[in-house]
Structure 1
Amino acid sequence: MILDRRTLLTTAALTASATLLPVGAGVPATHVPGLVAPGLPLRYGVLGDSITGRGSFASGETRPWAALLQARLAKTWQLTRVNGATSRDEQGVTCLGTVDSVPFGCDLVVVGLGSNDCLAQRNGRYVYTPRDTYAAARTLFAALAAANPDAVIVRLGVWGDRSVQWTAGGSVHPVSRVEYWDELIGECCEENGIVSVPCADLYSRSANRLPAGRPAFGGYTTDGYHPNDAGHEAIYRRVAHRLRLP
């Protein structure tokens, strides 16, 4: 059984290019998007940063997780890939607020944004506040849902170290910054019927990102932070499992 958007959201609760549009209402309760039947044309949208959009630190162009998922989908559907367009902020990273256009009219969209919003620093200080992130996420995910009303939309969680502590809102009790940002962005996703798939636990497995210094796709070398081939494989398998793909 291939899950629809409502079933995916229920499961999540139990277990734990168009120009950007203004914030609008979430997915209508009377319409539950689901994947088209096997064998039919399927539009696959991809929007993301270096991990999802570019896959820059995999060893080859077929090894990033979004490409692995694409190959899996192509075995069952007549696939067309539709990429969104992004730019970069003053730190040179792709964030929730640096999306120029989103995929539109898709049947399935995968989104990988938010890690840089959580982790980007300048002069030893985090660049983005919870308010910044919430505002950018709310605008983006409302736009995605509006541009893809018939799509199952999956958002990859923050890729980062859950043990990094951060003091939220002046509280004396530190929390995991990665987990805090995941929950914050996840709220905006849920408002728009978008499914969040966490992956920070995959980051915690050093074999998914180490060693550093190995040649990677696009002229990069592995840096110890981005997923290597094993990490991309692990992300792909998690998303495919969540979608219950044939």
Structure 2
Amino acid sequence: MKDVALQLKNVGKSYGNKVVLESIDFEVRHGSMVALLGTSGAGKSTLFRCLTGLEPIDSGSIVALGESIHELSPARLRAVRGQIGFVFQQLHLVKRFSALENVLGARLAEMPIWRVTLKSFSRADKVLAFECLDRVGMLDYANTPTQLLSGGQQQRIAIARALAQKPKIIIADEPVSSLDPLTARSVLQTLKAAATDLNVAVLCSLHQVDLALEVSDRVVGLRDGRISLNMANQPNNQGMMQKIRSIYQQRAVHSDRDEPLQRHVA
């Protein structure tokens, strides 16, 4: 289907005798934001590594932008990755560079070698970088060294950098777990706006259920490496809320060191 940007079918992954992912099926459509919920150890990190082609899968298929990523040549895989923006908790920003310079870094893969060597960005790339900073509300900080910005501001710079790739998919792995609730909400709303305004498919893993229900179009729950929930977002649907609670109740039963359930589900 043309409106499906990312599709997983019967994906399985094991390490030795340990099954980490089993029968994973869901999709992310262009212009939508899907929240992936699950406790630590549920398999989310492994799933994200498989999505990006960093880990091979044992069964099933992962199709990104119409191409099965685990069947591609290295060169073609790089090309597909070039259409996927990544936003992670560890931002990988160059702190001594300005916000603008960090965003421009997303354009390096598209530049001739001589421009890369000289860091000579075209006017079009600079205009694009300014537009991306403006979209995330950081235009006024374009020339500010990133190390002087707050955590939330740096996360917005990371989103602007992802947008500067002109991606068709954005994958965000726990992008707001270190932020306060107000800043986290603002950052997630920025990602949601990218999905809606730019027709980008966004897959975002989260622990904050309340925020996931605010911004997502669909909720996918992962528990013990299997899909336990895959539903269109219906905040008032008691059946869906019970399934979400079961994800975190499972966590509470298996670890007395985990945070209280109320931190995740009201």
- TM-score over 0.5 for the pair: no
The structure that is helix-richer by fraction is 2
The structure that is strand-richer by fraction is 2
Q: How high is the TM-score relative to the length of structure 2?
A: 0.31
